[in-house]
Amino acid sequence: MNARILIIDDSGFARRSLRQVLEGAGHTVEEAKDGHEALERYFLAKPDLVLLDMVMEGMNGMEVLTKLRELDKEARVIVATADIQASTKAEAQAGGARGFITKPFDREQVLKAVSTVLTGGMTWN
């Protein structure tokens, strides 16, 4: 399944890495570098899935997740973060994310998580 995926991360390096993986697998990619841009892009681009970083200037990832879910209850979000703490994962799950992947990403991990969530599943490994 080829999907439209929105990457929300303040790191251009992280966005480029993910774009390379996702476009390589045939997906269409949109990017946002902060929370405000993310919300705007989400409603303009109507992505099938969001990959969301947690630590960003201004609105942090949890705030963006909360806002997205308020505005679109069906929003499919995978948190993609360097923060490996179990408590962060639990917070993301409680906030309505459908998956959690940690940096550094590898191609298989990202594509498997994306595929799982796009087909209605969740991924918390």
Partner 1 sequence: MELTSRHREALTELINIGYGRAASALSELTGRRIILDVPKVDVFPVEHVGKALSKVLRGDVASVHQVFSGPLAGNALLLLDQEAAMLLNALLLDQPVGSRLDAAGREALIEVGNIVLNACLGVFGNLLQVQVTFAVPSLHLESVTGVLGSISVQEEELQYALMVHTRFRLKDSNVSGYLVIVLGITSFSRLLHELDHWETRQLSR
Who contacts 89 (Cβ-Cβ below 8 Å, separation ≥6)?
79, 100, 124
Q: By CB under 8 A, tell whether 66 contacts partner 1.
A: no
- Unique residue bearing structure tokens 């990832």: 61
Q: By CB under 8 A, tell whether 10 contacts partner 1.
A: yes
* Residue among 56, 65, 79, 97 that touches partner 1 (CB under 8 A): 56
Q: By CB under 8 A, tell whether 119 contacts partner 1.
A: no
Question: Using CB under 8 A as the criterion, what x/- string covers residues 12-41 for binding partner 1?
Answer: xxx---------------------------
Q: Are 42 and 6 contacting, i.e. CB atoms less than 8 angstroms apart?
A: yes
Which residue intervals of 1-125 are DSSP H helices?
A: 12-24, 35-45, 61-71, 86-94, 107-118
Distance between CA 75 and CA 47 in Å, rounded? 9
- How many residues make contact with partner 1 (CB under 8 A)? 19
Q: By CB under 8 A, tell whether 86 contacts partner 1.
A: yes
Task: Considering the complex, state which of residue 44 and residue 82 has its C-beta at the smaller distance from partner 1.
Answer: 82
